[in-house]
Structure 1
Amino acid sequence: MVKKTKKIAVQLLKIIFAVGIIYWLVQSGKLNFSALRNLLTPGILLLAVTITVLNFFLASERWRVLVKSQGIPAKVWSSFKLTLIGQFFNFAMPGGVGGDVIKAYYFTREFPGTKVVAATSVLMDRVLGLYAMIFLALAVMIYDFSHVSHVATLMTLFYFIIALFVVFTVALSLIFSSKIYKTQILKRVINKLPLAEKFMKIYESLHLYGNSIPRIAQVIGISLIAQSTAILFLYMVGVVSGYTDIPAKTYFLVAPLGFMATAIPISPAGVGVGQAAFYFLFNIYTGHSSEVGPTTITAFQVCSFVVSLSGAFFYMRYKRPNDMSAAADMA
C-alpha cells in the first residue's frame, strides 16, 4: 500500500512539475499557442500526422531489429502495435509503470519465456537511440563549428557532448567485446557491486547484442533516420508558424539536445521539460529570444499524443484484468 501511494505521489509531482513549467512559459510569453493556429489546416495536419506515424514506425522497427537479433521472429505489425501501446503509456502513466515496461510485458505474452529478452531489448533500444542522438548532435556541432566556437555556452555543450560520446562508445565497446567477456574482467568488477547478481544478468543479456554488430549499426542508422523525421516535423512547424529566419541546420543541432532533455523522467513524456529545453537551446544558438522552441516541441508532443491514442485501442484489445499488476511486478 505504501509503495502504491508513493508511486501515485511521484506521478502527481511530475504532472504538477510539467504543468508549472507550461504555465510559466505561457504567462511569460515564451510559449505562444496562437502561433500553432497556422497548423490547423487539413493539408498540414495530414502531413504532421504522417510524419509522426513514420517516426513511431521507425522506432518500432529499431526495436524489432534488436529483438530479431536474439532469434525471436517478431512481426512488423505486431511490433508496431506494441510500440503504440508503449507510446500511449508514456503519456498516460509516466510516474508508475512506463510505456517500455508495458510494451515488454505484452511482448512476453506473445512470446512466452522471453522476459529477459523483452527487458533488455527495450533497454538497449533506449541506449542506442540516445547514442544516435549524441552522435547526431556532435556531427552537426562539428559541421557548424565556426558558429559554435564563438558562443561560450555552445562550446561548453560541445565538450559535454564529446564526453558523452566517448563514455557511450567506450561503455558499449566493453559490453559488446568478446575478448573482455572471455577474460571476465567486467564480471569480476560487477561481482564487487551491490546487487551484483542482477547487474550480471543485465551485462550477460546486453553482451549478446554485440554478436551481431551489423544489426547494431542498422539500429543506429534507423535511429538517425527516425530523428531526422522528428526534426523535419519541427522544421515544418517552425516555417508554417512564421519562423522562416531560422535555417534547417539549427533544428538539427537543437533537436537532438532537446530530445535528450525530454528523455529525463521528471515529467509525463517530457512535457514541460521539452518546452524549457528547446526555448533555451534555440535562444542560445540563434543569439536572440524566440518562441520557436516551445512552439515546435509543443506541436510535436500534441501530435505524438494524438497518434499514441491509437495505442489505447490496441491496449484494450490486449488487456486482461490482472495485466497492470503483472506488468508492475515485471518492472
Structure 2
Amino acid sequence: MFQIVVTVAILYYLFHDPQVRAKMATTLRNADARWLFLGFIMYGLVEVIAGWRWQLLLRVQGIELGWVRLCCLLLIGVFFNFIIPGGTGGDVIKTFYLLKETPGKRTVALLSVLVDRLVGLIALSVFAAVLIIADWQWLMSSPVVDKFVWPAIIILGGSFGGLHGIYIMTSRGWIHRLPARFPGRDKLAELALAYNLYGRSWKPTLSAFGLSFLAHLGYFAVFYCAGQALRHDNVRMPTFAEMCAIMPIVNTISAMPISIGGLGVREGLFQVFLNHLCSVPVSDASLVSLCGYFLTFFWGIIGGVVYLFYRPSDHARLRDIRSEVAELEHTVAEEEVALETAEVAVHGASGGGSKGEPDKAKR
C-alpha cells in the first residue's frame, strides 16, 4: 500500500500541470515510430540475452530446458515484475514454475535463478563504476545531479561489498555459526551453496557475466531509442554514451522499494539528469522515461498472455507460490548449514586443515 501511495503521489506531482501534459501530448504525437519500434525490439533482444545467460547457468547443473519453455518463463517473469511490488516478484514466479519443469533438481533450479540475478547485479556494479568514473566530470558538473550520484555509488558499493563479505564467510565456513533466527540466514546459506556450486564452473559463470554486460547495454539502448524518437526542434537528447552513464544511477535508485517498479521515481530522476546535464525540457525528460518504461511494459503484456496459456501445472495463487518457494529456500539453507557443520566436524576430528574451513572440493 505504501508503494502505491508513493507512486500515485509522485506521478501526480510530476504531471499535474496541464501545460506540461499538453507539451508531452504534442511531443508524443510527433514521435518517430521507427525509433520506438527499434526500442521495442531492443528489449526483446535483452530478454534473449537473459535467456542465453540463464541457460548457461542451468546447464552448469545439468538442467536442459528448451528455448521455448525458457522464453516462456522469462516473459512470465517480466509480467510479474510489473504487477508485483518489490522488483523480485518475477523471480519468485520463475522459480516456482521452473521447479515444476525440473522436479528432480529442485535445489539447483532454485539456485540458478539466484545466481542469474547475482551475476546481473555484479555486472551492473562493475559497469556502473566504469561508466561513472569515465564521465565523472560531466556528472559532477551539476550540483543538483551530484546529490543523486553519491547515493547510487553507496548503494552499489554496499551491495558489492556485502557480496564479497558473504563470499568470505562462505570460504571460511562461518555460515553454520549464525543463530537459527539470524535475519537473512536462509538467504546467506543459499548464497554460500551457490558460491560452492558455481565457483568451480568459472568458465560458464564468466560467460554469463559477459552476457550481463550486453543485457545492460541493450536495456540502456531502449531508453536511448525513446529519446531519439522524441527528439524535436533544437532539443538535444543524450548520446548513447551519455545515456549509458545516466542509466546505472537511475536504475540503482529507482530499484529501491519506494514505488511500484520505480514508476514515478524514475521519471523524476530523468527530469533531474536530462534537464541539468543535457538541457532537455522536464516534460520531454519525463516522456523519455515513460516511453522507455512502456517499451518494456509491452513485453510484460506479452508475458501475461503467455502466462494465460502456460500449463506446466495448474496456476497457483500468489500466496501459495511464495509459500512453496520460501519453504524450499529454507530447506536448501538448512541442508547447506548441515553440510557445512559436518565438514567442520570431520576436519576437527581428523585434525587436518585450518579450523572452520570446510573442504569445499568434496562437495
**TM-score surpassing 0.5?**
yes
- Distance in 2 (CA, whole Å) between partners of 1:218 and 1:269 is 28
**In the alignment, what sits opposite 1:102?**
93
**CA gap 1:310/1:221 in 2 versus in 1, 3 angstroms:** same
Trace 1:104-253 onto structure 2 (pairs within 5 A).
Answer: 104-152=95-143, 160=151, 163-164=154-155, 166-176=157-167, 181=170, 183-188=172-177, 190-191=178-179, 194=182, 198-199=186-187, 201-207=189-195, 208-242=197-231, 243-253=235-245
Kindly state the Cα deviation for residue 38 of structure 1 after the two structures are TM-superposed. 3.3
What residue identity is the alignment partner of 1:73?
E
CA deviations over 1:55-82 (Å, ceiling 9, x no partner):
2222232333223232322333322110
Scaled by the length of structure 2, the TM-score of the pair is 0.74
Q: Distance in 2 between matches of 1:196 and 1:255?
A: 29
Q: Is this contact kept in 1: 2:79–2:300, CA < 8 A?
A: yes
Aligned to 1:5: none
1:76 is aligned to: 67
The amino acid that maps onto 2:304 is: A
Report the secondary structure of 1:24's partner residue. helix
TM-score, length-scaled by structure 1: 0.81
- Tell me if 1:54 matches 2:45: yes
Tell me if structure 1 keeps the 8 A contact 2:237–2:278: no
Is the Cα–Cα contact under 8 Å of residues 52 and 303 in structure 1 kept in the other structure?
yes
- Residues 138-186 of structure 1 show CA distances to partners (whole Å, capped at 9, x for unaligned) of 2122212333454445556555555555544444445456xx6453245
**CA shift for structure 1 position 224:** 1.5
- Contact 1:61-1:79 within 8 A present in 2 as well: no
CA distance in 2, matches of 1:322, 1:78: 16
- Alpha carbons of 1:321 and 1:77: their partners in 2 closer, same or farther (altered >3 Å)? closer
In 1, Cα distance between equivalents of 2:35 and 2:291? 12
| Residue 104 (structure 1) shift | 0.8
Measure the CA separation in 1 of the matches of 2:128 and 2:136.
Answer: 12
Does residue 275 (structure 1) correspond to residue 285 (structure 2)? The answer is no
> What's the offset of the Cα at 1:305?
1.5
The aligned length equals 316
Q: Matched residue of 1:323: which SS? A: coil
For the pair shown, which has the larger CA radius of gyration, 1 or 2?
2
Cα distance in 1 between the residues matched to 2:88 and 2:151: 31
Q: Which amino acid aligns with 1:111?
A: T
Paired with 1:250 and 1:52, the residues of 2 have a C-alpha distance of: 19
CA contact (8 A) 2:10 2:265 kept: yes
State the one-letter code of the partner of 1:86: G
Asked if structure 2 preserves the Cα contact closer than 8 Å seen for 1:33 and 1:295, the reply is no
- The match for 2:316 is 323
Q: Which residue identity lines up with residue 293 of structure 1 in the other structure? A: A
Unaligned runs of 5+ in 2: 327-363
Q: 1:207-245 CA deviation, whole Å, 9 max, x = no partner?
A: 222222333322222121112112222222212212435
- Indicate the percent of aligned positions where both proteins have the same amino acid: 25
Letter in 1 for 2:201: S
